[in-house]
């Protein structure tokens, strides 16, 4: 696809709901603004997104997909299928994958709880 994993995560958020304030993107990704802002700047240089100040609140920046960013969704839709093929062809233990998924979900919940304190 030609994007980094963090860029892919931002794209996934925007494919789900376009025209979001940076604050909402950071909340959905569980990242802080200092991490996301440089990432968005690089994505804008790649013409994947556009950033513009919110007309109602000059402090807020709205992020929207460009046509190029929106078109990458078609390429991305085959990623889960390709991962499944790798699991099958490489004889990766599905039980271990599910355990890993469970552990990652636990970590996400812990991070969310700590972020709220």
Domain assignments of the chain as residue spans, ordered by start: 1-77, 78-117
CATH code for the domain defined by 1-77: 1.10.10.10
Q: Is 98 helix (H, G, I), strand (E, B) or coil?
A: helix
Output the pTM of the full model. Answer: 0.71
pLDDT in tens, 5-24: 899 999 999 999 999 999 99
Q: How many Cβ atoms sit within 10 Å of the Cβ of residue 106?
A: 10
Cβ burial of 40 (10 Å; 0-12, 13-18, 19+) is: buried
The secondary structure of residue 55, as a DSSP letter, is S
pLDDT in tens, 22-62: 999 999 998 999 999 999 999 999 999 999 998 888 889 99
Q: How many Cβ atoms sit within 10 Å of the Cβ of residue 39?
A: 18
């Amino acid at each position: 696809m030609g994007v980094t994993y963090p860029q892919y995560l931002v794209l996934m958020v925007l494919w789900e709901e376009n025209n979001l304030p940076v604050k909402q993107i950071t909340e959905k990704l569980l990242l802080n603004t200092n991490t996301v802002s440089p990432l968005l700047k690089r994505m804008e240089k790649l013409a994947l997104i556009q950033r513009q100040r919110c007309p109602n609140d000059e402090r807020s920046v709205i992020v929207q997909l460009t046509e190029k960013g929106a078109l990458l969704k078609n390429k991305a839709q085959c990623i889960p299928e390709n991962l499944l093929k790798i699991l099958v062809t490489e004889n990766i233990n599905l039980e271990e994958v599910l355990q890993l998924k469970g552990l990652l979900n636990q970590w996400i919940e812990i991070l969310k709880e700590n972020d709220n304190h």
